[in-house]
Structure 1
Amino acid sequence: MRGTIVETLLSRLPALPDLSRLRGRRARLVRRWLAAALLLAGLIVLIHPASARGTPGTATVVSARDLPAGATLRAADLRLADLPEPVRPQGALGSVETAVGRLLTGAARAGEPLTDARVLGIPGTGETGRASVPVRLADAGVADLLRSGQHVDVVAAPDALHPASVLAEDVAVVTVSRPEAGGGRAAGPSTQGPLVLLSLPVSVATQVAATSLERPVTVTLR
């Protein structure tokens, strides 16, 4: 009698879910999610293949070691590196040959990309046709206006024997260096004011260097 009652109660309970069927449904759901993820990855590869394979680099000239301002670049000072376009500077040099023999307008750290704004001279010739001349400016305030790569005219101030004269036109500023305070050196045209390193045509470099030792020199901005 008791068994009959238990059997009757059990028969009225709702049917329990099939656990194997639940596991099958979960497996199918996981497979569907995986298929969707693979499809999405495939679409990304089709639309942006470079992002999936890694952005290809472009050959870029970089400094092989720390270089000072005014250095004439040699092949040993340079190397090529592949840089992705998003980080490659505008105007970056693409071959060592275009940089060799040119003048560096500012100090460069090892691995720094070199651009056309950082070098002076004739590209690809291995010969700049220019010389670096240090000139001390009579007016220190003018030096504060100068920056590497800027073009100026070099002017000699008048004295008892000479009128003011333009020594060189359209020359490039390589760097500006100011004298240390308390240097204790004698005053004179060659020891006063900031020292400006100029990139000049060889034909006038000697004249500018010699005149700057005898007369105060300044520059006019272009």
Structure 2
Amino acid sequence: MSRRPRTVRRRYPLSLHLRSVLSRRRRLVAVLLLGLAAGLLVLRLGPPQTRTVAVVTAAEALPAGTVVSPEHLALAPYPHGLAPEGAVTDPEELSGRVLAGAASPGQPLTESSLVGPGLLTGQSPDVTAVTLRIDDPGVLRHVRAGDHVDVVHLPDGAAPDGRSVLGRGLPVLWVSAAAPGGDGGLLTGPAAGEEEGLLVVAAPHEAAAPLAGTGGTGRTTVVLVPAPVSPSAEDAAP
């Protein structure tokens, strides 16, 4: 029995094969190409993706003096680099703080929006903050918050040797920014004429009244002195 001749399948060039496939599915290919072009156009014309940071804002109108609680706050995304300087990102940081001024809904809250630490923060409970007006503001040139001063008063009509020391080694809490070279201490801000020569010191309660009573009577000045040595430091000294 004779064998049947084997049929040889003709091989077509790859390019011809691809053209044949594309011609049969040209509608599908056209749709895919149009979709790809539309996607590229959207990416081209769409807004650039930027990093954002969540900033704490007022959720409602808040008057000055409000004690901030979580329900007063909201988070708003701000482009990275455009967030207000000093903006707070964690609402927990503001809980229990007091607003220094009114805030409108959506307004970012910064450290400058809040009341800072009090002048007597960290001081002994038996001291009082006393404001003094120094007759010669130049005396405050080298006085800074944290320094210690002796307060000297010369009553009206008294001889130069009639000066009295009303307080010794009193810690300085604030110095007027209007004083030449003054840095304003805890309350740094624009200098005003009425602030020139003002100084705030911490004094024992019993000395507060005599110190406060010097205003308008005689001349008051201060002398910068070394900081008092604490008893613990004296014990540690060789």
Instruction: Give the alignment's TM-score, normalised by structure 1.
Output: 0.41
Instruction: Give the alignment's TM-score, normalised by structure 2.
Output: 0.39
Q: Which has the larger radius of gyration?
A: 2
